[in-house]
A and B are shown apart, each in its own frame.
Chain A
């Protein structure tokens, strides 16, 4: 079902006209109310009147994650602070979070985008949505919640974790749509089997999975284990959270809500806009956002765009499943982690050198398992196991509290982790996605 055919099945020409009008409006507003944008545009010698077509967007400077960090918390706020209705954050590279502030209208658009997303998975007002994305500063929980409400579905706000309770609720409340990270969906299926239930007989019919990378094989596995259709969804805090793009029943690329979020794919080296079908870095301009609008935000995600018509009837541009990232960000159980965060944390701990290797694997439990190998300082080596075990426990504690992810720490001999010139190899990702 198409939630909003007027926008989702719009004639592409008409949509372009709409997008251009919205872009023009956005650029005018930003230039006249946000010193950050005005300086950037003046620096590039661009005036709002120079934007005469959608293609002229390519003349505007990019916005990066560093820009967001440097202006934390409200340097890019484009509305009076009193109009902010909700705030979300995600972690940044050095612990400075990235902020998304929503006005009433921003929340309404987010609801709309997520209602379209859930409808893409076949959800209607008759469905019961069990939402296992975390509620809180993370956008996943609230995003799905708003979308399900707009759709008129029954929403069960479970948040993440407590698997046995999730299964109890699922059996008793007739859940039909599951929303979670893909790895958690697999983990839940295993737990259900272990508890003596047949996941296929629990009444689920579809699931929307995102917030971490996954593969076609993993989709097949989830679908077989639960007996459902599994759909990929995409979003990021900076742009709005989930709801940026989603799969329809064709499961052939993710439809971008491009009347709200205008996509470009660029060459990450030169910044040049690439033609459809060519792989590059995904860039978004938030066409209608009021709180924290962004022009040409570089997502660091790698994909390509396709404009041929989809069998579902939607005319929106589709992005391919992600190929990876242009930076070294890791997504562990839905949490974004930069190796530099680990380095910062290690420097604070006496007894270790900031030489480390992160080994990520998806074990028998289907959940990401992280082993952090850390070199012990020569001077800190002791003939007693207790001293070293205490150090190991301390590192595990610090990682858990600063990154929010449980890692297994392994102490290794000094100078055994490979040193390389330039960008060192900090991550060994063994996940087969």
Chain B
């Protein structure tokens, strides 16, 4: 029920983002969700893709520093208050969040929120118990 996220270390150099997206494009990878965490000196690109293993291999072969991490992808209705509900639930059940980002999901009125939580076992159990819609691919 987890989903594989790929993160890539990027120096703040011109052209690095173009290069990393080109590498994935040439491998025929479709990016479903994307976010960048940046500091003054470097950035960390985080993506959810359709074929993580293929993407990972392409990135490493091209010299990128990348790793795969388990994250939770929770599907919520695309309406006001939906995210607040999930956050309140996480707060009550002490699911600590390291970071999150979101993706709209095409034609249905749904959104997908990607959560990196401190304790993935605990997070997994909570979303299962509370009956949240969790995706293992999208």
A424 within 8 A of B: no
Given that A389-B39, A410-B41 are contacting pairs, would A382 and B99 also be in contact in the complex, using a CB cutoff of 8 Å?
A: no
Which residues of B89-138 are within 8 A (CB) of A? 98-99, 116
B65 touches A383 (CB 8 A): no
Which residues of B9-56 are within 8 A (CB) of A? 9-11, 37, 39, 41-42, 44, 46
Which single residue of chain A is at the shortest CB-CB distance from B60?
A: A378
B116 touches A383 (CB 8 A): yes
Q: Give Cα A411–Cα B65 distance, bound, in whole angstroms.
A: 12
Given that A376-B9, A412-B11 are contacting pairs, would A385 and B65 also be in contact in the complex, using a CB cutoff of 8 Å?
A: no
A363 within 8 A of B: no
B57 within 8 A of A: no
B11 touches A385 (CB 8 A): no
A218 within 8 A of B: no
**Stretch from A127-135, A168-176, A413-421 forming part of the interface with B:** A413-421
Q: Give Cα A287–Cα B70 distance, bound, in whole angstroms.
A: 72
A384 touches B98 (CB 8 A): yes
Q: Give Cα A416–Cα B64 distance, bound, in whole angstroms.
A: 10
Count, A-B residue pairs, CB within 8 A:
45
A388 within 8 A of B: yes
Q: Give Cα A416–Cα B65 distance, bound, in whole angstroms.
A: 11
Return A346 CB to nearest CB of chain B, in Å: 17
A385 touches B9 (CB 8 A): no
Q: Give Cα A415–Cα B7 distance, bound, in whole angstroms.
A: 18
Chain A neighbourhood of B5, CB < 8 A: 383
Given that A412-B11, A413-B9, A416-B11 are contacting pairs, would A383 and B41 also be in contact in the complex, using a CB cutoff of 8 Å?
A: no
A323 within 8 A of B: no
Q: Give Cα A383–Cα B10 distance, bound, in whole angstroms.
A: 11
A384 touches B99 (CB 8 A): yes
Q: Give Cα A66–Cα B28 distance, bound, in whole angstroms.
A: 58
Q: Give Cα A381–Cα B5 distance, bound, in whole angstroms.
A: 14
Given that A383-B116, A384-B99, A385-B37 are contacting pairs, would A411 and B42 also be in contact in the complex, using a CB cutoff of 8 Å?
A: yes
Return B16 CB to nearest CB of chain A, in Å: 9
Chain B neighbourhood of A410, CB < 8 A: 41-42
Q: Give Cα A224–Cα B5 distance, bound, in whole angstroms.
A: 59
B63 within 8 A of A: yes
Given that A413-B9, A415-B63 are contacting pairs, would A383 and B69 also be in contact in the complex, using a CB cutoff of 8 Å?
A: yes
Chain B neighbourhood of A388, CB < 8 A: 9, 39, 42, 44
Chain B neighbourhood of A382, CB < 8 A: 7, 67
Return A152 CB to nearest CB of chain B, in Å: 52
B11 touches A383 (CB 8 A): no
Interface centre among B11, B41, B98, B116 (most CB of A within 10 A): B41
Given that A376-B9, A381-B9, A383-B116 are contacting pairs, would A413 and B65 also be in contact in the complex, using a CB cutoff of 8 Å?
A: yes
Which single residue of chain A is at the shortest CB-CB distance from B64?
A: A413
Q: Give Cα A75–Cα B10 distance, bound, in whole angstroms.
A: 51
Return B38 CB to nearest CB of chain A, in Å: 8
A411 touches B41 (CB 8 A): yes
A376 touches B99 (CB 8 A): no
Chain A neighbourhood of B44, CB < 8 A: 383-385, 388
Q: Give Cα A223–Cα B99 distance, bound, in whole angstroms.
A: 55
Q: Give Cα A408–Cα B14 distance, bound, in whole angstroms.
A: 21
Return A417 CB to nearest CB of chain B, in Å: 11
7 pairs from A and B in contact (CB 8 Å cutoff): A382-B7, A384-B98, A388-B9, A410-B41, A413-B9, A413-B11, A414-B65
Q: Chain A interface (Cβ within 8 Å of chain B)? A: 376, 378, 381-385, 388-389, 392, 410-416
13 further interface pairs, Cβ-Cβ under 8 Å (given A376-B65, A382-B67, A385-B44): A376-B9, A381-B65, A381-B66, A382-B7, A383-B116, A384-B37, A384-B44, A384-B98, A385-B39, A388-B9, A410-B42, A411-B42, A413-B11
